[in-house]
Structures are given as structure tokens and as C-alpha cells.
Amino acid sequence: MINLLIIPYMAVMAAWSGGSLWPSQYLPKRITWLPEAFFALGVVYALWPILGPWSLLAGAWSYAWQQSATGPALQWGRDPVHAMARPRRLSPVINFISDRLGFERGDVNYCRTWMAVKGFLITLPVGGIVGAVLWPLGYEVGHRVGRHVVSELLSGAGAGVAIVLFMILTV
């Protein structure tokens, strides 16, 4: 049976991971990694019936990319100079793609590309393509309504949708 509760679960875990949803701001520094770990359990949940304990590797993959910096994308094109102030783990990949597509470093299309790649990598164990579309869409909507918590909730819900679709297609 497909559990649709994974969608709101992933939404809340993403917002806690990003620090925009209460009570994430009150977590002691030594356990701020915990929300990302709970987020990654959504991927483990989807893959467990297929891979068993090996699904923990997919969860580790998702966790690692959830932990990767979103830095330049958070400005969503408003302040490209500040957004590009320091390189991040994904910078070389995003720079390569953006250069080919003619996007300026730090502009809104650069940010969309960043979040599409990050969403793809986070959800790759469950297909990746849905995450590549819905992760940046969540940030787009959140930016337009001016609420970062909306960005994180919707991007996490998008990851939940990717998980549900994966589970439907693999049952």
C-alpha cells in the first residue's frame, strides 16, 4: 500500500532541514543534522521493499545532497554578487550548465538550475526527474509569495511526490 502521508512528512522534514519551520531554530548545534537524516528516511522507506538494508546507501546519498549548500539559489537572483561570493560543492556543475545555457552567474535562471540539479541529486535514488522539476518549482513559488518556509515546504512535498510516484511505478 502506498502511504500518501510521505508527502507532508517530506515537506515538514525539508522545512526543518532548512531551518525555516519551528522548532528547528531551537535545535542544539550538535544535532542540527537530524532533520536531514529524517528527510533521508523517506527515500529509505521507498526503497526498503526493493533493496532492504541496501536502501540505507540511497538514504545516505539523499542525506549528503540535502546537506549540500543551496547558497547562491537562496537569493533567487536578487543579489547575484552576494550569492556568488564563495564557491560551493555544486558550483562547478551549475557554472558549466549555466554557461552552456547562457545564464549569468547568480541570476534567477542560475538559481533555478541550481535547485533543479540539487532536487535531481536528492531524489535520484527514486528517479530524480520529478525532483528536478518540483524542487525548484517549490522555491519559485516560495520566492513569489515572499516566504522561505513555503519554498522549503513545497520542495520537500515535491520530494514526497517523487517518492510516491516511484512507489506506484515499482509496486
Per the model's pLDDT, the better-predicted residue between 86 and 3 turns out to be 3
Distance CA 57, CA 53 (A): 8
Distance CA 127, CA 136 (A): 16
Q: What is the DSSP letter of 125?
A: G
Distance CA 90, CA 87 (A): 8
Per the model's pLDDT, the better-predicted residue between 3 and 73 turns out to be 3
The pLDDT of residue 1: 60
Using an 8 Å Cβ cutoff, are 119 and 131 in contact? Answer: yes
Tens digit of pLDDT for each residue in 86-117?
Answer: 778 888 899 999 999 999 888 999 999 999 99
Tens digit of pLDDT for each residue in 25-82?
Answer: 888 888 888 999 999 999 999 999 999 999 999 999 999 998 887 777 778 878 877 7
Answer yes or no: pTM beyond 0.85.
yes
| Per-residue confidence band for 159, with pLDDT thresholds at 50, 70 and 90 | very high
Tens digit of pLDDT for each residue in 136-154?
Answer: 999 999 999 999 899 999 9
Mean pLDDT value of segment 1-24: 88
